Each structure stands twice: as C-alpha cells, then as structure tokens.
Amino acid sequence: MTDDIWTLQRLRDWTCDYLQKNGSATPRLDTDLLLGEVLKLPRLQILMRLEQIVQKEELAAYKGLVKRRAAREPVAYILGRRAFYDLDLRVDKRVLVPRPETETLVDVVLLFLKEPATPEGAVLDLCTGSGAIALAVAKALRARQSERALWATDVSGPALEVAQQNATLLDLQLELRQGDLWDALPQDQRFAVIASNPPYVLHDVIAGLEPDVRAWEPHLALDGGADGLEILRRIAAHAAERLLPGGLLAVELGSPAQGRAMAELLAAHGLQGGKTELITEGPTSLVTVRAPG
C-alpha cells in the first residue's frame, strides 16, 4: 500500500485481494469491517462513499489493522467486539469468538422458557466464555419482564473477567462462578435450564484448524480431548442431578456422531426418560434433553 491517493474503492479492492492472498475466507467482509472501524462508518455508508479520498492519518491507522488481519488475527479481536444475537459483545483473546451457530442454542432456550410447563428456577450457562449465551438469554428475559437468576461458569478466570465486563456494559446481572464444570456450583443448586457450548474439538484436529482459530483462540475453549468427548462425558455424568424436574439441558457439540454419543451418555446417566433431540446446524450439532417432569 503506497502513500499516494487512495479512494475507498481502490483501498477496498486492494485490501480484499491482499487479505484473500493471505488466507482470509471472508476478505470483503473483513475489509469493510476494518474500513468501518477506522472511518467510523457502518458498512452501508462505505459502499455509498466509494469515491471518497482516505486521509493520510486514516490510511496509517488502517494499515495497522490490515497487517493484523493478514497475520490471521480474527477481526473480532482486532475490533475488540463481536455481534452475537442482539448483543454487541466485548471480546479479546481471553475468550472464544462467539459463533453464529451458537445463536441456535439461545433460540432453543428462549423457546423452552416460553412454554407454560417450564419449571420455575434459574438458568445456567456452563462454560460461558464471553458470557454470550447467558447474556443473550438474560436480555431476552428482561424484555419479557420475566425474572430468573442467570448463572454463568467457566474454569478460566480471564474469560470470566470478560463475561463480567460484558454484563456490566449491558447492565445485566449474572451469577458468575469460576471452577471446573460442576465444581463451580453450590452442591444443592439445580436449574430449570442448563445450556452449554463446551470444548468439543478433537485434540489432534486443533493443529490442523485455520490459523485464525489455532493461533489466536484459547485452546482451553476448543480442546475436547482425544475423542472430543472428554468434557461432554463429564457434563453428562452430572446433568441429571443438576436439572429440576421438567428442566432442559441443551448442549452444542460438533458432528452429529458426537451428538449421538452425547445422547447415549445422557441416557446412561439418568436422562433416558426425557425427550432427546439432535439438531444439526452448519458445522455444529445441538443435543437437547428434557428431564422427566
């Protein structure tokens, strides 16, 4: 990128080409988000001002961001935020970048919470990371004027700092607890809903993931052990005793095969009387099971 005159159109074309050559799977979107960050413009405005000349200082700031993206840093970390559901979440390398697929999990939980037979009681987001699931549910419940405690746990203290920051910025209340899965909770605490997007990537697969993920996102958020089921097995082992009668467990995982394995584990651990569903959404699946009422 030389220091001569750059219109938005020229800069946009150049960056798309450059990011594509450097391995970005979404060069056009990345370009517009980075341009928007520097010029403080929404995407549509960029498209409407393609003849505008970019100022020297803007160009210098923009170059810095493009360099980071070319090194495969996720756009969400560069911007320090990511849209999830109807939230604008703060994110950085302490947490996984929330994925659009996980919004399906939020939909399932919110639908369940609308049903008249849903038990009274708290909602748990186990392995909360940035707080994405818990905060999306909390915001929707606030809009419905429905009062339920929202718990969110993670083994990672740094991740919980991000979740707390998001809760504060969104003015939402979370009961945040740090600890290894169920150990984070008081022994007698049960829930009307337990939602989780835990680590489920097979350990040996991580090294072959795109650098955006492998080199930047916390491996603690990804690594599901040798068969990807290490954490899922431990979730399944105690889910039944943590659910209220008629409560819902909804867990995101990888392949449909992993989903079937999880459904079997849950049945083996006392959730066999419930209704189990396996939903496949893009690269992920979702297992939901209702505890007998």
Residues lying near ligand SAM in the complex (CB under 6 A):
95-96, 98, 102, 127-130, 132-133, 154-156, 159, 180-181, 197-199, 220-221, 231
Residues 6+ apart with CB under 8 A from 115: none
- Give the nearest distance from C-beta 252 to ligand SAM in angstroms: 7
Query: Is the CB of 46 or the CB of 262 nearer to ligand SAM?
Result: 262
Q: From 168, 124, 114, select the one nearest 145 (Cα to Cα).
A: 114
Query: Is the CB of 35 or the CB of 126 nearer to ligand SAM?
Result: 126
Residue nearest to ligand SAM (CB): 129
- Give the nearest distance from C-beta 230 to ligand SAM in angstroms: 9
- Give the nearest distance from C-beta 58 to ligand SAM in angstroms: 32
Using DSSP's 3-state secondary structure scheme, residue 234 falls into helix
Query: Is the CB of 39 or the CB of 201 nearer to ligand SAM?
Result: 201
- Give the nearest distance from C-beta 197 to ligand SAM in angstroms: 4
- Give the nearest distance from C-beta 127 to ligand SAM in angstroms: 3
Query: Is the CB of 104 or the CB of 130 nearer to ligand SAM?
Result: 130
Query: Is the CB of 34 or the CB of 106 nearer to ligand SAM?
Result: 106
CA angle (68 as vertex; 92, 160 as ends), nearest 5: 5
- Give the nearest distance from C-beta 174 to ligand SAM in angstroms: 12
Strands (DSSP E) found in the chain: 81-84, 87-90, 123-126, 150-154, 175-178, 191-196, 243-253, 276-281, 284-290
Using DSSP's 3-state secondary structure scheme, residue 171 falls into coil
3-state secondary structure 17-32: HHHHHCCCCCHHHHHH
CA dihedral 273, 279, 284, 288 (to 10 degrees): -30
Query: Is the CB of 15 or the CB of 197 nearer to ligand SAM?
Result: 197
Residues 6+ apart with CB under 8 A from 136: 84, 85, 86, 87, 103, 106
What's the burial of 146, exposed, middle or buried (CB within 10 Å: 0-12/13-18/19+)? exposed
